[in-house]
Amino acid sequence: MTSRRTRTALTALAAVGAVGASAAVWGIGVERFLFTVREHSLRVLPPGSPPIRVLHVSDAHMAPWQHRKQEWMAGLAALHPDLVVNTGDNLGHADGLAGIRRAFDPLRGVPGVFVHGSNDLSAPSPRNPLRYFTGPSRSKPREVPLDTDALDAYLRDELGWLDLNNAAGSLSIAGMRIDAFGVSDAHRGWDDLDVLPAALEAVRENDGAVLTIGVTHAPYRRVLDAFGALGADMLFAGHTHGGQVRIPGSPSALVANCDIPLDQARGLSKWIQDGRHVPLNVSAGIGHSIYAPVRFACRPEASMITLTSRD
């Protein structure tokens, strides 16, 4: 009897090990390359407005050898977006800017906005993934600085995208004015919400915007609440990687690396602020840290959101 129980236990352990090994092979060798575009449609524009196609990209974490990712990102230009929203963590390596150039160059001429994630300023470092279950990660003392000035010069000066790091501005999209504001990485406490009211007031001196968007890398509640109070009509964020490793079929992430509700750590939802229901899109991101090259039940993604009129 004991021998039979032992064999049963060993068989069960072997089965669990085989499933775990298969999941690891899939997550590391297959799914992290299954890039996908999530498409949504929202009725948020004034009646009679033409549609606006918004491409939301986030968390590329680009390393120079990631040619498959660079090629896929370059192909996003074929979606013909009217506006690009980049919610940060573009770089994943000290030499990642060359790959970002290859990825975004086809979008030259398309209006855009961007904010920083921490990996736009410092290189990633090895972390114990189990510590994410204890709460949001913290910075490490010996971080390698990245060439943020060169990244910003490319995004701002070459692509012409609007820098929304603790700032506000306006864009002309399809003949309509869109106001936009944002903060630098709230995960590191770099967000300066106090400067936004005055920045927005200066932007709004002339009425006429059909839409106001709020942009952040990390979707902390304090930031989303403040954005809602400032009158944002739509919110964009990244940072969570959608949990990166999820239970198949579950509507919630296991971790989010911030304080957003876990069922809102990926995709389109609504953020409720003082009775207002503001659309919120949290991108699961395109990449991953070079020290955690895995995706499971959470494909790398970009979002294409078509904004239409409220007719």
pLDDT, tens digit, for every residue of 248-278?
999 999 999 999 999 999 999 999 988 899 9
Average pLDDT over residues 66-70: 98
Residue 305: helix, strand or coil by DSSP? strand
pLDDT tens digit sequence for 86-119: 999 999 999 999 999 999 999 999 999 999 999 9
Residue 272: helix, strand or coil by DSSP? strand
pLDDT over threshold 50, residue 19: no
Average pLDDT over residues 22-45: 93
Q: Where are the alpha helices (DSSP H) in 196-239?
A: 196-203, 221-229
- On average, the pLDDT of the chain sits at 92
Average pLDDT over residues 197-202: 96
pLDDT over threshold 80, residue 138: no
- Are residues 286 and 300 in contact, defined by beta-carbon separation less than 8 angstroms? yes
Angle value at C-alpha 150, between 147 and 156, nearest 5 degrees: 135
Question: According to the model, what pLDDT value does residue 146 have?
Answer: 97
**Residue 207 phi, psi dihedral angles, 5° rounding:** -65, 165
Question: According to the model, what pLDDT value does residue 76 have?
Answer: 98
- Residue 235: name the closest of 208, 260, 262 by CA: 260
- Give the count of alpha carbons within 13 A of 309, CB side only: 7
**Residue 88 phi, psi dihedral angles, 5° rounding:** 90, -175
- Give the count of alpha carbons within 13 A of 92, CB side only: 23
